[in-house]
Structure 1
């Protein structure tokens, strides 16, 4: 009788742990999707020829420019920053949080460059760095979520 009670408790605990892990996986998947959506909207706004963007030197990071959007672009900035914070909050692995930061830095660099150039004049190298950061984020998020690796080239260079 004692053994039966212990086995029942153990099985319930395992079920709870699996359900808890599944819930967190779903939370992470939704949060990472929301981050990617906000990132893509921010990028689309920076590529709009009518967007008004300015940039100043970052006060604490020499060689880094900080982009600023007008009131029509402010919602994109706010949504991206909120989504970035949420992604870092729920990430289980430090590598995923670092990949979020790298992608955020690259899309901000595109916006800062856009402040001085029309969208078609942004150097291709900046986009290559952005796509590399995006691919890295996708790979680390997939690893954290327990998904198989992406096939070579999947997602690279999407516009």
Structure 2
């Protein structure tokens, strides 16, 4: 009976060690996944912040009375104008394009892809309109489209980051 008792004790002990090891490994994996998700959330937040800053600087430059912007017809999109900046404005366009690419690179959701593209397209339309209009007579509908595209991007980014939706009357847009 002593041998059977020792065998049972050894089996139970071995089972407990295996169960403890498995639970420990599972817990470590869960913690790693949580930390990994947090790191990617922080990366996305920083990239989206940089994109919004660059896009806003681009739009601010287009509204500067001293800005020298020209526009030519887009080679493949009929009825769409492509804006071109002088040496001063080129850095704004390059920064917006670079941060746009970064945003497209880090996103996990197709909605972000669409809203980033739409926001950049609207900003380009503002710049192209500025090429033929003075600062005071810019088409208001272009800015309404821009603010709607910004709102769509913010909503999609907040969903991806796990944040609550913005209230409908949120100030600061426009």
Same fold (TM over 0.5): yes
Aligned length: 158
1:28 to 1:152, Cα distance in 2 relative to 1, 3 A = same
Q: For residues 60-118 of structure 1, give each alpha carbon's deviation from its aligned partner in whole angstroms, at most 9, with x where no partner exists.
A: 11111100000000100110000000000001100011100000000000000000011
Q: How does 1:35-46 map to 2 (within 5 A)?
A: 35-46=51-62
Q: Offset at 1:7? A: 0.3
Structure number, greater radius of gyration: 2
Richer in helix (by share): 2
Task: Kindly report the root-mean-square deviation, in angstroms, between the aligned alpha carbons of the 2 structures.
Answer: 0.8
Unaligned runs of 5+ in 1: none
Are 2:23 and 1:18 equivalent residues in the alignment?
no
Are 2:133 and 1:140 equivalent residues in the alignment?
no
Are 2:70 and 1:48 equivalent residues in the alignment?
no
Are 2:104 and 1:88 equivalent residues in the alignment?
yes
TM-score, normalising length: structure 1? 0.97
Aligned pair partner of 1:67 in 83, 92, 103: 83
Aligned pair partner of 2:48 in 21, 32, 38: 32
Q: Which runs of 4+ in 1 moved over 2 A?
A: 155-158
Secondary structure of residue in 2 paired with 1:152: coil
Does the CA contact (< 8 Å) of 1:135 and 1:155 recur in 2?
A: no
Aligned pair partner of 1:127 in 140, 143, 146: 143
TM-score, normalising length: structure 2? 0.89
Does the CA contact (< 8 Å) of 1:42 and 1:76 recur in 2?
A: yes
